[in-house]
Structures are given as structure tokens and as C-alpha cells.
Structure 1
Amino acid sequence: MMNELSGIKKSFYYLLLTLFSVITVFPLIWMFLSSLKTGKEIISIPLTFFPSDPQWGSFAKALELAPFGLYIFNSIVTALAIVLFQIILSSMLSYALTQMDFKGKNILFVSILITYMLPAAATYVPSYIILARMGLLDTLSGIVISNIASVFVIFLLRQAFMQVPKELIEAARSEGASDWYILRKVMIPMTKSTIFTVSLISFVQMYNNYLWPSLIVNSQEKYLITVGLNKFFTTQGNFAEQMPLIMAANVLSVLPLLILFFIFHKWFIKGISDTGVKG
């Protein structure tokens, strides 16, 4: 009897997970199929799920109307640069917060967490003024520099560093290892699962960043994919006729993230389930 109830419970969980999975993936499938339809098919009533005659030319036409390849390249490059700086700076700060003793350490950490409570829009005006004085408006460098600090990354790395066995650190210190050596050879290798997961999350977040880049970038050749998509959406004429092109552009913008997920999904899931310490 207990086995039957356990089997029913598992079947219910699987059914529930399948339902949520379908709901999650359905918009992506609908977007892709809509990119292959005509404008009339997209707005037709009743709705049709599959295109009667797939319009593969929508992708080529969308690329002719706007340089989406350049937008995607800008987004990938800036996201990679931001993630690299975030991991380096956050690792250094997290090491100091967990392995060094200095006055005001707890106050410093609490102050960092308090900034996470602030609405992002509240920092836009002072950040804009700072970038303007540095001459970094309308540059990809401005996007990178204004995002190199992440409270989210600092918090997660600090928590991961706290789980590294103190015996390992003390053993390294007894051998005369410096703080730089311990950080590079002990802390980072022991928490690489967490670092990898945080890097992926931060990359996706920066790739999808829209509001801030739209405020500081004006030149088309420096648009990120999010800004380029918005401009493409607002500048097209007849909405119904251009809908397949808009859907095709959205598919192109999502493609790098889907490829990234399929390549690294095993490591991502492992990093989520891991405690943050390897070994």
C-alpha cells in the first residue's frame, strides 16, 4: 500500500514538472514557429500552431534590415568582460571578508548588502554623471566599467569561501603561502563549481541587460542586442506584416543563450546542487 502511494506521489510530481516545463518552453517554441509564419497567420483567428508554408527567408530579411550579428557580438563581448571583472574583484573582496581580520569588516559587508536593497534606477543618475566626466558615454567600455561590481556575486562567493575547510588554509599558511597564493591555489579551485554557476548567471543577466545600456549608448554600431531589438521593434511600419521579422530577430537574439545552456547545462545544474566546495 505504501509503495502504491509512493508511486502515485512520484507520478504526480513528474506530471507537475512536465506541465511546468511545457509552460516554460512553450513561448520559445511559439516564437520560433511564428518566425516561420506570415503576418496574417500570426494574427489569424483561430490561431494556427504550425506555419502552412515555412518562411525561412524571414531570418535573412531581418539581418538585412538591422545588423543583429553586430548587436549580438557587442552583447557577448561586454557580458564576458563584465563577468571576468566581477569574478576577479568579487573573489578578492570575498577573500578579504572571510580570511582577513580588520576593523569594520562586518560593517563593510552589511553596507555592501544594503546597496543590494536599492532600486537600480536610483543609481542611474550618479552613475551617468560619473561616466560623463570619465568620457565613457556612448561606449562599450562604459557599459563594462559601470557593471564590474556585483553584490550578488560578492555574496555568493563569500558564502562559498566560508565553506572551505580552515585546515587547508592553515596548512597553506604554515608552508609560507601568501594570501594571493591561497586565493589562487586553494580558494578558487575549491569553489570552482560556485564560481562557474555564478559566472553563467551573471553572463545571462548582462546579456539581457537593457535599461542602463539604452541610457548611455546612442550609436547604432554600439547597441547591445536588447537595445537593437527594441529599436527594430519600434521603427518597423505595419505591425502585422513585420511581426515575422520581429519574431525572427528574437530567435536570433536568444540563440547564443540556448547554445550556452546546451553546452554547459550539466555543469550549471551541478553548481546549483553543489555546496560550493569541491573535494
Structure 2
Amino acid sequence: MSEKIGVAVRYTVLVLISLAMAFPFYWMVTSGLKTNDEIWQFPPTFFPENIHWNNYADAWNAAPFARYMFNSIFVAVSICVIQVINGSMMAYALTHMKFRLKNPFTAMVLIGYMIPSTAVYLPSYMILNNLHLLDSYAGLIISNCVSVFSIFLLRQAFMQVSHELVEAGQLDGASHFRILWTIMSPLIRSSFAVMILITFIDQYNNYFWPMLITKDPDLRLVSAGLRGFFVEGGAYGLAWPQIMAASAFTIAPLLILFVFAQKTIMQSVNMSAGVNKN
């Protein structure tokens, strides 16, 4: 009986936590359907008295959000693809290859993980300027094509794979490149999914660095576009339903990505838990 009570308590706590996490999204979506007076009234209403779907259309037409979302998705997807390739090769080399100064090099990578990204903005800006990559898609993508976090995450995943698989592949005459992509990578696809999800969210919402290296309005990402709509468009304090509506449809790609990656992410969590338990 006590065990059933414990399970019921755990599920109740999990449900309450889930509702607390989901409530801001619910409030944002429903606020996009209200009037400005309804948003500010007290006590607040949890659902609009009259649904104003036109708020979403007005917000979509008030600024080029289609362009902003395309820019963010294109840049984020490109960075994810490049980081998967770079991070996989680096992580594989650090875990399943032997070379001189391997340990010091691994330590350098891990130390680099502790350096704040803002600390390298100035040298990175100067490099992009010398390469004539400022104010371009190439500058946005190339400046983020290597991630210490991705290398660290994939390194931890590769460490869970037995080195005997690499040795077996070498005995069969396979190169390291083939072993990486045909033998090792399928085994850690859940870690790839986690890395891609985190990287996509980070790059999709990136604000300060893209604003620093781009001035062309056509290259704005979603975060900068929302800020422009909020301040430059005169919506500050005046059009909160449209602001909430714009925030709601701009995060839709992130929610869709999470829905599709959820199963793979849970497999990664279960695999990690099993390894730690053993």
C-alpha cells in the first residue's frame, strides 16, 4: 500500500511540474488571442472572452517573420550539420585513436569548454572582418562551425562504445573514416539527436553574436526580428497581443523539433542511466 502511495505522490509531483513548465507556453499562446485590455486586467483571465485570430495574422504581416524564421532555420541547420561532422571526427580521434600529446590536447579541449563565448567575440570579429565574411550567411555559419560542447558531448558518447569494435573494423580493413560513420555513429545516434536539439535551439535563439556581425535587415534572425518588432515597430507597450502571437509562432519550429526528437532523446537518457547503473 505504501508503495502505491509513493508512486501516486511521484506521479502527482511530476504532473504538477509538467503543468508549471507548460503554463508559460499556454499563457503566451492564449494571450495572442486576447485584447490588450484582457492581458492587463486583474484578476487575469486564463482564456480570452472572444478569440481574436487576427492578432496572429497582424503580427505575421507587421514584420517579415517568414524571412526571420527562414534565416534562423537555415543558419541553425547548417551549423548543426557542420558541427556533427566536425564534432564526430574530433571526438572519435580523442577516444579511439592513438597519437602523441593526445591527453594534453584533450585537456585543452576541455579547458576551452570553460571559456565564455563572449571572451572570443573580439578576435572572432576581427578574423571574420579580415576574411570579408561580415554581414553574410557564411560568417554566421562558419563562426559557429566548431563547438567545444558538441565535442565534449560526443566524446562522452564514444567513450561508452567498446574499442573492440574499432579493432574489429581495422582487422577487416576498414579505415577510421568508415569505422566512424558506419559502425560507431549508428550506436550513438541518440547522442547526436541531443546534440542537434541543443545546438539548434541555441543557434535559432542566438541574438548578440549575429547582431554584432550583421547589419543587413535581410539577415536578421528570429531573436533580432522579435526585438525589432517589439521596439522599432512601435509595439512597445501597445501591442502585447501581437507580441505574444509573434513569440508563439516563432518558437513553433523548436517545439516541432522536440516532438520528433523526443523518443530518441529518451533513449539517450535510458542508455546513460544504464551505463551509470552498471
TM-score category (smaller protein): over 0.9
* Aligned counterpart for 1:226 among listed residues 223, 226, 245: 223
* Aligned counterpart for 1:252 among listed residues 234, 249, 252: 249
d(CA) in 2 for partners of 1:221 and 1:175? 51
Relative to structure 1, the CA distance from residue 216 to residue 238 in structure 2 (aligned partners, 3 Å threshold; closer, same or farther) is closer
Q: Which residue type is aligned with residue 226 of structure 2?
A: L
The CA deviation at 1:196 is 2.0
Moved more, 133-142 or 266-275: 266-275
Deviations 1:60-110 (A, max 9, x none): 111221010111111111101001110101111111111221121111111
Residue of structure 2 equivalent to 1:150: 147
Relative to structure 1, the CA distance from residue 68 to residue 45 in structure 2 (aligned partners, 3 Å threshold; closer, same or farther) is same
* Aligned counterpart for 2:24 among listed residues 11, 22, 27: 27
d(CA) in 1 for partners of 2:226 and 2:263? 30
Deviations 1:7-47 (A, max 9, x none): 11111111111111111000000000100011111111221
* Aligned counterpart for 2:137 among listed residues 136, 140, 144: 140
d(CA) in 1 for partners of 2:247 and 2:33? 12
Does the alignment pair 1:187 with 2:184?
yes
Deviations 1:213-263 (A, max 9, x none): 121121111101111011111124364431111111101111111122222
Q: Structure 1: 5+ residue runs without aligned partners?
A: none
The CA deviation at 1:264 is 2.6
Using the aligned pairs only, state the percent identity.
43
1:94-243 alignment, distance < 5 Å:
94-237=91-234, 239-243=236-240
d(CA) in 2 for partners of 1:237 and 1:177? 61
Does the alignment pair 1:81 with 2:78?
yes
Q: Which residue type is aligned with residue 121 of structure 1?
A: T
Residue of structure 1 equivalent to 2:11: 14
RMSD: 1.6
Q: Which residue type is aligned with residue 87 of structure 1?
A: V
d(CA) in 1 for partners of 2:236 and 2:188? 49
d(CA) in 2 for partners of 1:209 and 1:238? 22
Deviations 1:108-129 (A, max 9, x none): 1111111111122111111111
CA contact (8 A) 2:229 2:235 kept: no
Moved more, 190-199 or 143-152: 190-199
Deviations 1:149-202 (A, max 9, x none): 111110121121122222222111112211111112111122222112211221
CA contact (8 A) 1:163 1:276 kept: no
CA contact (8 A) 1:35 1:248 kept: yes
d(CA) in 1 for partners of 2:213 and 2:273? 36
Q: Which residue type is aligned with residue 232 of structure 1?
A: F
Residue of structure 1 equivalent to 2:43: 46
The CA deviation at 1:134 is 1.0
d(CA) in 2 for partners of 1:15 and 1:238? 40
Q: TM (normalized to structure 1)?
A: 0.94
d(CA) in 2 for partners of 1:59 and 1:181? 49
The CA deviation at 1:273 is 2.2
d(CA) in 1 for partners of 2:187 and 2:105? 25
The aligned length equals: 274
Moved over 4 A (4+): none
d(CA) in 1 for partners of 2:45 and 2:186? 51
Relative to structure 1, the CA distance from residue 260 to residue 238 in structure 2 (aligned partners, 3 Å threshold; closer, same or farther) is closer
Residue of structure 2 equivalent to 1:36: 33
Q: Which residue type is aligned with residue 119 of structure 2?
A: A
